[in-house]
Chains A and B, each alone.
Chain A
Amino acid sequence: MPDKSKIVETDRSLYDFRYEENAKDYHREKSGITREIVENISKEKDDPEWMREFRLHCLEIYNRTDMPDWGPDTSGLDMNQIAAYVRHKAKMQSDWEDVPEEIKNTFERLGIPQAERLSLAGVGAQYDSELVYHNLRKEVAETGVVYTDLESAMKGEYEEMIKTHFMKLVPPTDHRYAALHGAVWSGGSFVYVPKGVKVDIPLQSYFRLNAAGAGQFEHTLIIVDEGADLHFIEGCSAPKYNVANLHAGCVELYVAKNAKLRYSTIENWSKNMYNLNTKRAIVEENGIMEWVSGSFGSHVSYLYPTTILHGANSKMEYTGITFSGAGQDLDTGAKVIHQAPNTTSVMASKSIAKDGGIGTFRSSVVINSKAVNSKASVSCDSLMLDSISRADTIPAMDIRTDKADVGHEARIGRISDEAVYYLMSRGIKEADARALIVSGFADSVSKELPLEYAVEMNNLIKLEMNGNM
């Protein structure tokens, strides 16, 4: 049997690359978070007055809000060294041919235009702080679906809709990075699916943070109206730098009566990234919210998609996998608040830790007194691939009614030697046997993704596992 050996860095060149850029083509705000910077961003974006005031209000909240006293260490993140706004001077395009060469090449290499042609109803591509490309298939647009950048929508016919929903689910008082987001947000998408419209193929937004020492603060606002149905996919990556980068995006999802939304994320930020993202959904009567989440990248992650089951009989499902390798401290999980009768939540999480990585599953299930006859189930499986890593599970439940049914289970363990031995006895090399077992462990997540993304996720697992033997 070959001995285990370690390769500290795996080959991440698929994501970890950077084309030459000319600094003159970019506008970069100076580093730090000040009133002047916030006002500059607002001016750059030609915000309506209400948004300018909102940004400044958020800045005040940011300045007086402390850091949470739980979770991974963020002391390596110095906000004075982060540029909150970096944009290419070219305008957003709806044809890839018009996108600046180095940016187009980046997205080509990531496979985004190809995916759009093959399997997507629409694509938004953000590069640093601004969208560089946005397009929706004509036949989908004809059903009344709106998929555009948030800035344009805010100044057009959807201004009132955005004003009513923007940062209402995630108020700036929620936590320090929600306030920061409110102050400096830029980019992201607005999606509106009209009543009864079912979008058969997914929409996708892809976020690329290419600038060193910068932050990305995109805002995604999705409204799925009564009886409508949407699958939205979010992907992200960045080249690795020796300085900290920050991602503090915000996702707000409104799922109306009888509507359904699936929100899938393959997160593959570079390993110098602080990923302090906030995602929240509110679901009305008979509505369904599904989260599918794969976390592979980042140096530090705080990520807990939250669902508010506001309408009777509403449901949520969270299926997630987190893979923590060397130098990574990924704190992920989900939160749900049951506010209405007969609501249901299911959380299923898998986490894998190796090469000194730290993977934490953290969850919160709250069932309030009105949510009678509600059901909640949480399961968490963690796999430790060596004894220099950590895998922690920190679930919490707060149940305020006697008429609820709650189940929770968690398991932590290692790859069974017997299983590896069995596969090796069938002629499979030890490294492949271990990778196969890990892929099988992750199967419940990959089968929830469209085929192309399941393949990408399995490739990421293989990439991570290659460094393990």
Chain B
Amino acid sequence: MVKELKVNLLPAKTFRYLKVNDTKLDLSGFEFNKPEKRTASKIKKAFDNVSTGMGKDLDTFVSEYAEKKFVRVTSGKERKIYISNLSQINQYLFMVETEGKLTVTIENSGDKDLSGISAKFILAPNSKAKLIAVQTLKRKGTYFLDVGSNVADNSVFEFVNVVLGGEKNYVGCNASLSGEKSSFVCDTGYICKEKQSLDINYRADQIAKKTQSRINVSGVLGKGGSKTFRGTIDFKVGSSGSVGGETEDVLTIGDEVINKSVPLILCGEEDVEGQHGATIGSLSDEILYYMNSRGIDKPTAIRMAAHASVMRTASGIDDKKLVARIEKEIDKTVQSE
């Protein structure tokens, strides 16, 4: 019987009183059945080497209880996949061969008590994969999205993540940049309010030479919202010439918020450049005054800023209809603030 899983582990632990070294994913109220269909052992073995952001406990659980869907993009081909019909626990395994291109869009909406997704990617040299995950569930229940990728020479893994619904939300993403000149680009936008929580763990393992990573997280915390962001850029020995950066912007628009941020840069290599920047706070009086002088009142100015904060992430999505749906959902969410 599954009860609690330890997830989103910080790669380098810190002060215990902050309670950010990991978090608990409580699955004790749910029932799970093992799938009848088994995945070919060759495929399973290949993807066992892909570490995910939420960690081993969850990965083992998903491997046991989720029915796996395997997608291969053959050399030089391009595929676009749209997924919306999700069961309770889902696992997708994507293999992109040399010079292949893959875009996966997962749109998760509706009224669910538990919705869990695991997505793993193996990218061969010179390939590209982009995962777009949009979650607009009703503000109840538990949601998790656990992503992992192994990225070979000259390949790029992109992750665009928008989280607007659910009540207890957990997201993890790990990119192992084991190929020279491989890249990881991650953009996340969220709104959390009224008992909603979001726990994030992103990690770029920069293993090979001249790798690049960029992690951007931008979101809005309304009254009663809670967010924990862990972001790690890990320059391993041998990653010379690599560059990594992470930025976080949090706009607070209500009181009783809990806002935790732990942006790590771990560095075992001399010839690298890593940086992190964060801004956390409400709209400054100067901005509000300026907006007011242009005829925009305070509530409208706050709604505009909140809208812009999340839409920054959504702008990385090519599907215009999906962007329009996200925009509508953002407006609905910030309207009530």
Q: Which residues of A contact B (CB under 8 A)?
A: 68-71, 335, 362, 364, 366, 369, 382, 384-387, 389-414
User: Shortest CB–CB separation between residue A174 and chain B, in angstroms?
Assistant: 10
- Contact status B279-A406, CB under 8 Å: yes
- Contact status A410-B270, CB under 8 Å: no
Q: A362-B14, A384-B270, A414-B270 are in contact. Are A402 and B257 (CB under 8 A)?
A: yes
Of A382, A403, A409, most B-chain CB atoms within 10 Å: A409
- Contact status B281-A412, CB under 8 Å: no
Q: Which residue of B lies closest to A385 (CB)?
A: B270
The verdict on B280 contacting chain A, using a C-beta distance below 8 Å, is: yes
Q: Give the A-B pair count, Cβ closer than 8 A.
A: 142
Which residues 15-51 of B have a CB within 8 angstroms of A?
15-16, 18, 20-21
- Contact status A408-B277, CB under 8 Å: yes
- Contact status B270-A399, CB under 8 Å: no
Q: Which residue of B lies closest to A399 (CB)?
A: B259
Which of B14, B255, B267, B279 makes the CB contact (< 8 A) with A384?
Answer: B267
A71 to B16, CA, bound (A): 11
A381 to B178, CA, bound (A): 27
Q: What chain A residues lie within 8 Å of B296 (beta carbons)? A: none
A75 to B16, CA, bound (A): 20
Q: A402-B221, A409-B277 are in contact. Are A369 and B256 (CB under 8 A)?
A: yes
A386 to B267, CA, bound (A): 11
Q: What chain A residues lie within 8 Å of B16 (beta carbons)? A: 68-70
Q: What chain B residues lie within 8 Å of A391 (beta carbons)? A: 267
User: Shortest CB–CB separation between residue A336 and chain B, in angstroms?
Assistant: 12
What are the nearest 8 A-B pairs in CB distance? A402-B252, A70-B13, A406-B280, A387-B270, A408-B278, A405-B281, A412-B274, A399-B259
The verdict on B109 contacting chain A, using a C-beta distance below 8 Å, is: no
A426 to B107, CA, bound (A): 61
Q: B237-280, CB under 8 A of A: which get 1 and which 0?
A: 10010000000000011111111111111111111111111111
Some 23 contacts from A to B, beta carbons below 8 A apart, are: A69-B13, A70-B13, A366-B18, A390-B267, A392-B264, A392-B265, A394-B12, A394-B262, A395-B262, A395-B263, A398-B259, A399-B257, A400-B259, A403-B255, A404-B280, A405-B280, A407-B279, A408-B263, A409-B277, A409-B278, A411-B276, A412-B274, A413-B274
The verdict on B282 contacting chain A, using a C-beta distance below 8 Å, is: yes
- Contact status A398-B260, CB under 8 Å: yes
- Contact status A404-B270, CB under 8 Å: no
- Contact status B21-A70, CB under 8 Å: yes
Q: Which residue of B lies closest to A382 (CB)?
A: B267
Which of A382, A398, A406 makes the CB contact (< 8 A) with B18?
Answer: A398
Q: A364-B18, A387-B237, A400-B257 are in contact. Are A393 and B270 (CB under 8 A)?
A: no
Main secondary structure of the interface of A (DSSP, over half): strand
Q: Which residue of A lies closest to B234 (CB)?
A: A392
Q: Which residues of B contact A (CB under 8 A)?
A: 12-16, 18, 20-21, 221, 235, 237, 240, 252-282, 284
- Contact status A402-B265, CB under 8 Å: no
A386 to B272, CA, bound (A): 11
Q: What chain A residues lie within 8 Å of B280 (beta carbons)? A: 397, 399, 404-407
A401 to B252, CA, bound (A): 8
A400 to B265, CA, bound (A): 24
A402 to B223, CA, bound (A): 9
- Contact status A70-B15, CB under 8 Å: yes
- Contact status A410-B276, CB under 8 Å: yes
Q: A386-B270, A392-B12 are in contact. Are A409 and B275 (CB under 8 A)?
A: yes
A7 to B15, CA, bound (A): 36
Q: What chain A residues lie within 8 Å of B261 (beta carbons)? A: 396-397, 399, 408
Which of B221, B252, B266 makes the CB contact (< 8 A) with A392?
Answer: B266
Of A335, A396, A401, most B-chain CB atoms within 10 Å: A396
Of B16, B254, B268, most A-chain CB atoms within 10 Å: B268
Apart from A369-B255, A369-B256, 18 more pairs, CB < 8 Å: A69-B13, A335-B15, A364-B14, A366-B18, A382-B267, A395-B263, A397-B278, A398-B259, A401-B252, A403-B281, A403-B282, A405-B280, A409-B278, A410-B275, A412-B267, A412-B272, A413-B274, A414-B272
Q: What chain A residues lie within 8 Å of B265 (beta carbons)? A: 382, 392-393, 410, 412
Q: What chain A residues lie within 8 Å of B235 (beta carbons)? A: 412
Q: Which residue of A lies closest to B271 (CB)?
A: A414
A408 to B263, CA, bound (A): 9
A410 to B263, CA, bound (A): 9
Q: What chain A residues lie within 8 Å of B281 (beta carbons)? A: 403-406
User: Shortest CB–CB separation between residue B38 and chain A, in angstroms?
Assistant: 38
A409 to B263, CA, bound (A): 10
- Contact status B15-A396, CB under 8 Å: yes
Q: A400-B258, A403-B282 are in contact. Are A392 and B267 (CB under 8 A)?
A: yes
- Contact status B273-A412, CB under 8 Å: yes
User: Shortest CB–CB separation between residue A419 and chain B, in angstroms?
Assistant: 14
- Contact status B256-A70, CB under 8 Å: no
Q: What chain A residues lie within 8 Å of B14 (beta carbons)? A: 70, 362, 364, 394, 396
A369 to B279, CA, bound (A): 18
- Contact status B240-A387, CB under 8 Å: yes
Q: What chain B residues lie within 8 Å of A402 (beta carbons)? A: 221, 252-255, 257, 282
A392 to B15, CA, bound (A): 15
- Contact status A411-B275, CB under 8 Å: yes
User: Shortest CB–CB separation between residue B238 and chain A, in angstroms?
Assistant: 8
Q: A70-B21, A387-B237 are in contact. Are A401 and B272 (CB under 8 A)?
A: no
A403 to B280, CA, bound (A): 10
Q: Which residue of B lies closest to A395 (CB)?
A: B263
User: Shortest CB–CB separation between residue A263 and chain B, in angstroms?
Assistant: 21
Q: Which residue of B lies closest to A397 (CB)?
A: B261
Q: Which residue of A lies closest to B274 (CB)?
A: A412
User: Shortest CB–CB separation between residue A22 and chain B, in angstroms?
Assistant: 45
Q: What chain A residues lie within 8 Å of B271 (beta carbons)? A: 387, 414
User: Shortest CB–CB separation between residue B49 and chain A, in angstroms?
Assistant: 25
Q: What chain A residues lie within 8 Å of B272 (beta carbons)? A: 384, 412-414
Q: What chain B residues lie within 8 Å of A335 (beta carbons)? A: 15
Q: Which residue of B lies closest to A409 (CB)?
A: B277
- Contact status B282-A364, CB under 8 Å: no
- Contact status B13-A389, CB under 8 Å: no
Which of B12, B20, B268, B273 makes the CB contact (< 8 A) with A413?
Answer: B273
A391 to B273, CA, bound (A): 12
